[in-house]
A and B are shown apart, each in its own frame.
Chain A
């Protein structure tokens, strides 16, 4: 069995290699050979040139005709999903997307993914040869195995990069946090984080947030986003402040052990997914909670 692994996120790529390297000959397509080589793929192929979906899809199309992979496993990022969509068309192969768990069985593949925005978990069997894998498909573990390193040049794309602005990522890993204080649009403005931080400190929690807070407004860095398209967390305690509780958010925190929600709207759906809820202004509530907890 031969698997081609690609992701523009080296973290997800390491997870994909770790997932398949014991069952298959894995070839890894990466922009960082030095990092990727540590995870035990049989071959590590470095890409030179801009990582744009059109260029990567063309490179994989050629590799597929040379190598005939049984599965093309792609990390779920914006670029990854674009590449998968292009390849499904270019190679006339069936693709499954946003997969949380995968099993290969002969020519068949069994995959699980959320559906209806996260309301249900869908398990399917199909003949898919392209799988887009969500972050966390396996734990990334380094391997002493030897890897053969080579390089390919990507073709230029019809799309040109004008500029690039890095997002300041933090150093936290909220997936491992035991206590999370998560803020939503109810925070109102970035400056109000100052009012949440002392509370988070008092409960020894990491701060995370809903998608608008992390992506739209950038009040928090994107690696703190919880949800369907963000991190899936499972802390002992998840405290949701000013988060309405849309299903896409719930999909990221439903494995929390204990959930506490504060929202000024008593009909907010977050209360359906909470063990304890307080209806009220989050700033009032956390100021008082902080005092009580410290007592």
Chain B
């Protein structure tokens, strides 16, 4: 049977390209390109695979800024059918994000909501539980496999000491682990078509941002030697001495 799946996608600065101020250690965010958060991609991929197998519709939701149309297009190119961008993202406040997203989710009929288990930049991991509690829908977390049968969703949930196979009635929330799939790289043609697809945009209202005082935000110091040997023979010669010294 076809399923209506909502996917929550986050936009983040490309943390691999992000540098920190060599003097103060503070993150330099200017001119860092924005991209789709890692696990959001896995979530889109999981949803698109469900659609490809069973039919239905994939709707993506992002709480972001005016600049977030690019991640919506990325999701369209991967196979999402419709997208809602809520603007006004005030930064990393999971309770605010959960409320903004949940109020939109309530307006959209769905069988499943899929999101990442922990986002790659802030990795709070609080959204799955918060969204589940606001909507009153069961949460099946850290899924490495999803199976649907009629109105029943079953996932293999990768916990620290064991893998649990759990099941619940839909509508339900599923958070995914990075290991669930390999997100597709959409072909150019699809990327171009995605650029023309409309995006539903609205502004969040009534944000209650908690008071948090940042005392410091700095890169931990790294003073590695960074001696890299491109000639393995030479490298082995030198590094074996270093190892012998270190393990004495």
Residues on A with C-beta less than 8 A from B213 are 124-126
Q: Which of B128-146 contact A (CB under 8 A)?
A: 128-134, 138-142
Q: In the complex, A21 Cα to B160 Cα: how many Å?
A: 26
Partner of B95, one of A81, A88, A222: A88
B166 and A160 contacting across the interface, CB-CB below 8 Å: yes
B161 and A54 contacting across the interface, CB-CB below 8 Å: no
Partner of B246, one of A85, A248, A258: A258
Shortest beta-carbon distance, B139 to chain A, in Å? 6
Q: Is A17 part of the binding interface, using a Cβ–Cβ cutoff of 8 Å? A: no
Partner of A115, one of B118, B217, B235, B243: B217
A121 and B178 contacting across the interface, CB-CB below 8 Å: no
Q: In the complex, A182 Cα to B211 Cα: how many Å?
A: 41
Residues on A with C-beta less than 8 A from B219 are 119-121
Interface residues of A, count at CB 8 A: 88
Q: Is A164 part of the binding interface, using a Cβ–Cβ cutoff of 8 Å? A: yes
Q: In the complex, A273 Cα to B122 Cα: how many Å?
A: 21
Shortest beta-carbon distance, A63 to chain B, in Å? 17
Task: Give the dominant DSSP class at B's interface.
Answer: mixed
Q: Is B157 part of the binding interface, using a Cβ–Cβ cutoff of 8 Å? A: yes
Q: Is B154 part of the binding interface, using a Cβ–Cβ cutoff of 8 Å? A: yes
Partner of A167, one of B122, B163, B236, B247: B163
Residues 255-272 of chain A, each 1 if its beta carbon lies under 8 Å from chain B, else 0: 000111000001001011
Partner of A78, one of B94, B159, B226: B159
Q: In the complex, A26 Cα to B157 Cα: how many Å?
A: 30
Q: Is A102 part of the binding interface, using a Cβ–Cβ cutoff of 8 Å? A: no
Task: Please judge, given known A-B contacts A116-B13, A236-B246, A274-B224, whether A82 and B128 are in contact too, CB under 8 Å.
Answer: yes
Shortest beta-carbon distance, A233 to chain B, in Å? 14
Q: Is B203 part of the binding interface, using a Cβ–Cβ cutoff of 8 Å? A: no
A117 and B15 contacting across the interface, CB-CB below 8 Å: yes
Partner of B218, one of A85, A120, A229, A239: A120
Show 8 A/B contacts (Cβ-Cβ < 8 Å), sorted by A. A86-B139, A120-B218, A127-B211, A161-B164, A167-B163, A179-B246, A203-B247, A289-B236
Q: Which residues of B contact A (CB under 8 A)?
A: 13, 15-16, 18, 20, 25-27, 92, 94-95, 98, 117-118, 120-134, 138-142, 154, 157-169, 177-179, 210-220, 222, 224-230, 232, 235-240, 242-244, 246-247
